[in-house]
Amino acid sequence: MKNIFICLVFVASLIVSPLAVFSQDETVTETPEIVLMELSGVVVSVDLQEQQIGIEYQLDDLESATTAIFDLSETVEIYKNEQVITATEIKNGDKVTITYQLDENSAKVITKIVLES
């Protein structure tokens, strides 16, 4: 009789165990949505060793210009006259339109640069 009871408890635990696993609240971690931003300005510094570009730009609601340093993504796309170019061809004074996003540390990372001709 004791063996039957132990077998019943064992079988019951096999049935209840999966139910307990499936009934637990699962924590779903959402991937943050990537927001791409765009701005136009003038290149004021190029540091290819640090993979950074300084851009001076004007926001619509501000009278004075703002300068910010942007990191270049490893896969940055750079265009001039609809042709792909390299970062070595970017010079101070170039007028650019950039597409960038904020990384996990809130650094501004450029994903695309279009130089005006």
> Strand, coil or helix: what is 107?
coil
More confident site: 14 or 46: 46
- Domains of the chain (ranges; CATH) run 37-115 (2.40.50.320)
pLDDT over 60 at 90, yes or no: yes
3-state SS class at 33: coil
Mean pLDDT of the chain: 84
What does the alpha-carbon distance between residue 91 and residue 42 come to, in Å, rounded to a whole number?
A: 10
Q: For the whole model, what pTM was predicted? A: 0.71
Alpha helices in the chain, H assignment, sequence order = 2-23
One DSSP character per residue, 45-61 reads EEETTTTEEEEEE--TT
pLDDT band, very low/low/confident/very high, at 19 (cuts 50, 70, 90): very low
For residues 90-112, give the mean pLDDT. Answer: 97
CA-CA-CA-CA dihedral for 15, 20, 21, 25, to nearest 10: 160
